[in-house]
Amino acid sequence: MWRARVMAGMAHRELRPTNRRPAGARSWMRSMPKGNHSPQLWHVGRVSPYQPATGWRPADRASAIDAGLRALLKEGHGAATPPREMLLAEIPAIVAQYGAAAERAKAAGFDGVEIHGANGYLIDQFLQDGSNKRSDTYGGSIENRARFLFEVVDALTGVWGPDRVGVRIGPSNAFNEMHDSDPEALFS
């Protein structure tokens, strides 16, 4: 599945819009056994590393909480980038990047998409109050913390329709230092 995401140009941490080898992805899809094939679309948020060679510095975290996380770098594991809370004005662009990735998945011939909202990645960072300390419309109440996920769902269902979009969540998953003060209320 990883190779399919790379070939379709959808495996980027930051979901940068790209047209990387869609023809290769279509070719790969033809060689797969019959069945339902849906790539996971994800953004790691605060688990991102700073990349000095390119100057790329991720700014996309729900809140500026340094959990001392490690990231997978080209050279091996290293420190994740010190966090900076995503600005309100940056959020629509991230939602649009999810939509662009969904469009690439459709062009590549996949059968649907799954949103990865677990494992301490960006959507999970917005959902859980241990990582989301925002005081704007994306923080505080469960409804506010779920707003980012719902905006991503809307973007993807606009491409695929509601019957071709799934959401992966991780209730009570502590991976990447995640926690919530009331997980039963959040995930019920």
pLDDT at 40: 85
pLDDT averaged over every residue in the chain: 76
pLDDT at 179: 80
Neighbours of 12 (CB within 10 A): 16
> Which has the closest alpha carbon to 76: 49, 112, 101?
49
135: pLDDT strictly greater than 80: yes
Q: How confident is the model at residue 37 (pLDDT cuts 50, 70, 90)?
A: confident
Which comes out higher in pLDDT, residue 81 or 136?
A: 136
Both tokens of residue 125?
Answer: 């960072």
Neighbours of 187 (CB within 10 A): 15
Q: How confident is the model at residue 154 (pLDDT cuts 50, 70, 90)?
A: very high
> Which has the closest alpha carbon to 10: 45, 53, 39?
39
121 carries an active-site annotation: yes
Q: How confident is the model at residue 150 (pLDDT cuts 50, 70, 90)?
A: very high
Domains within the chain, CATH numbers bracketed: 2-48+87-187 (3.20.20.70)
Both tokens of residue 153?
Answer: 């769902």
Q: How confident is the model at residue 156 (pLDDT cuts 50, 70, 90)?
A: very high
Which comes out higher in pLDDT, residue 110 or 30?
A: 110
Kindly give the pairing relationship between strand 76-79 and strand 70-73.
antiparallel
Q: Which residues contact 21 (CB under 8 A, 6 or more apart)?
A: 7, 8, 9
> Which has the closest alpha carbon to 101: 63, 155, 64?
155
